[in-house]
Amino acid sequence: MLDPKNEDVYNLWGDAEINLKNPNAAIKDYTLAIGLNTKNPASYIKRGMVKINQNDKAGACTDFNSAAALGSKAGKDAVVKYCK
């Protein structure tokens, strides 16, 4: 049985929603993952990439900056690439 309190489950569901071309559902899943663990930069980066693809640069950059603040190199790289 899947543990509804495990952020990895929601990250995987978000990934599945991306593959199914359901970006809004993916954002909801990544947001749930962040709610369960605010210290996982991968969740912020994944949600930020969906927002970039939806032309929500401000929202994406907020997520990328959150990941960067947690020490994520990928988050810092995304800030440089998308937020300048």
Taking every pair of C-alpha atoms in the chain, what is the biggest distance, in angstroms? 43
What pLDDT is stored for residue 1 in this prediction? 57
pLDDT category at 4 given cuts 50, 70, 90 is confident
What pLDDT is stored for residue 61 in this prediction? 98
Contact yes or no for 60/80 (Cβ under 8 A): no
What tens digit of pLDDT does each residue of 6-26 get? 999 999 999 999 999 999 999
Q: Which two tokens stand for residue 20?
A: 């199914």
Domains contained in the chain, CATH given: 7-82 (1.25.40.10)
pLDDT exceeds cutoff 90 at 37: yes
pLDDT exceeds cutoff 60 at 39: yes
